[in-house]
């Protein structure tokens, strides 16, 4: 790579190829991009940013970073039931960032564009005296009036979560070397979940007309479920023993019980948390089998408010730390 390209050359070399597959990007040469939802659909719009030293460590591979940033945004689209279509990227870069770094960033974006079927349509490149900041605004398409929101949960609905929970939070600890009792394989399995979450872009659109409420788990299950409860005007009970754990997370918690609350509340899982009436159970089971993604019922929506963690007999768990029945 030549070093020290100017802004226009950087856009031309690294970003223009990422916009080649979508007409409305206008080859990134105009003041704005153009986009229409397909007939009968509307656009879902979400924005997420990452800051060096806050959301990731300096020295992180820019390709992996780019992919995580895209995936965090795609997880938000999935939570609305929207298919990925396009995104804009703002890069805020100190002068020390060279063309090699940008080439790696673009390679990561290219890889996940291909994997998730979306395209770059625009952005801005500015300089800073501070740390790297990357911000993505992602656009998805969803049938008009059908998007999943947080406000439709009703008493009697079951609460589901996709995949496994806790790998993100335990993965961050593993990546930082804070889980020395784990095998190298488990460290790798968990930390890769943290570095490169799997947005449920295939699942989200399949939940339209089945789920009554949906969001992605980014801040931790109890807090995130509390958002659904608040938006829907209901309460929820979660049976902690039902929480789906990966084998690596299970071994980590078996070795150190205090990690259960980390796994439960740590966030960064980017799984879908959704509610659905009992009548939808069978259809949801079919989708899980078809997509090969566990969709686990972990509790139910009740009258009232707040999220209660309960044991298998329905008794509230007052102190997760002291609780040993998991």
Is the CB of residue 113 less than 8 Å from the CB of residue 120?
A: yes
Is the CB of residue 101 less than 8 Å from the CB of residue 10?
A: no
Minimum separation from the CB atom of position 325 to a second copy (A): 32
Largest CA distance in the chain: 65
Exposure string for 33-69, b = 16+ CB within 10 A, e = fewer: bebebeeebbbbebebbbebeebbeeeeebbbbbbbb
- Tally of CB atoms within 10 A around 242: 13
Minimum separation from the CB atom of position 198 to a second copy (A): 16
d(CA 1, CA 35): 33
Tokens coding 200: 């449920």
Question: Which CB atom, from 77 or from 252, has the smaller least distance to a second copy?
Answer: 77
Bridge partners of 276? Answer: 158
Minimum separation from the CB atom of position 52 to a second copy (A): 8
d(CA 17, CA 138): 18
d(CA 183, CA 185): 5
Residue with tokens 């159970």: 281
d(CA 77, CA 64): 20
Backbone angles phi, psi at 157, to 5 degrees: -60, 150
Question: Which CB atom, from 54 or from 289, has the smaller least distance to a second copy?
Answer: 54
Minimum separation from the CB atom of position 290 to a second copy (A): 24
Residues lying near a second copy in the complex (CB under 8 A) are found at 24, 26, 29-37, 42-51, 53-55, 75-77, 79-80, 82, 86, 88-90, 92, 121-124, 126-131, 133, 135, 137-140, 142, 144, 147, 149-151, 215-216, 227, 231
Minimum separation from the CB atom of position 37 to a second copy (A): 6
Minimum separation from the CB atom of position 113 to a second copy (A): 17
Question: Which CB atom, from 118 or from 248, has the smaller least distance to a second copy?
Answer: 118
Minimum separation from the CB atom of position 164 to a second copy (A): 20
d(CA 324, CA 75): 33
Question: Which CB atom, from 188 or from 219, has the smaller least distance to a second copy?
Answer: 219
d(CA 213, CA 201): 16
Question: Which CB atom, from 151 or from 296, has the smaller least distance to a second copy?
Answer: 151
d(CA 293, CA 246): 12
Minimum separation from the CB atom of position 187 to a second copy (A): 27
């Amino acid at each position: 790579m030549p070093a020290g390209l100017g802004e226009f050359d950087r856009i031309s070399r690294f970003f223009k190829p990422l916009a080649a597959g979508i007409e409305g990007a206008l080859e990134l040469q105009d003041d704005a991009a153009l986009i229409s939802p397909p007939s009968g659909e509307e656009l879902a719009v979400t924005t997420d940013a990452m800051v060096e030293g806050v959301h990731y460590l300096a020295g992180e591979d820019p390709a992996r970073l780019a992919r995580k940033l895209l995936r965090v945004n795609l997880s938000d689209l999935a939570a609305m039931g929207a298919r990925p279509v396009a995104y804009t990227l703002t890069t805020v870069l100190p002068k020390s960032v060279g063309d090699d770094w940008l080439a790696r960033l673009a390679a990561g974006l290219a890889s996940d564009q291909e994997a998730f079927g979306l395209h770059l349509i625009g952005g801005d490149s500015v300089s800073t005296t501070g740390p790297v900041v990357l911000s993505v605004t992602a656009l998805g398409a969803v049938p008009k009036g059908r998007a999943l929101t947080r406000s439709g949960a009703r008493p009697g609905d079951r609460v589901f979560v996709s995949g496994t929970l806790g790998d993100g939070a335990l993965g961050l600890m593993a990546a930082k070397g804070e889980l020395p009792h784990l095998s190298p394989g488990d460290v790798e399995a968990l930390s890769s979940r943290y570095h490169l979450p799997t947005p449920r872009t295939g699942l989200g659109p399949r939940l339209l007309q089945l789920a009554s409420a949906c969001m992605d788990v980014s801040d931790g299950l109890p807090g995130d479920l509390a958002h659904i409860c608040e938006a829907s005007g209901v309460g929820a009970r979660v049976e902690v023993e039902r929480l789906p754990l990966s084998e690596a997370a299970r071994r980590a918690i078996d070795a150190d019980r205090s990690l259960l609350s980390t796994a439960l509340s740590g966030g960064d899982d980017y799984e879908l948390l959704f509610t659905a009436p009992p009548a939808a159970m069978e259809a949801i089971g079919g989708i899980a089998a078809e997509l090969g993604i566990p969709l686990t019922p972990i509790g139910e929506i009740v009258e009232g408010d707040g999220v209660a963690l309960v044991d298998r007999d329905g008794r509230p768990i007052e102190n997760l730390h002291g609780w040993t029945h998991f």
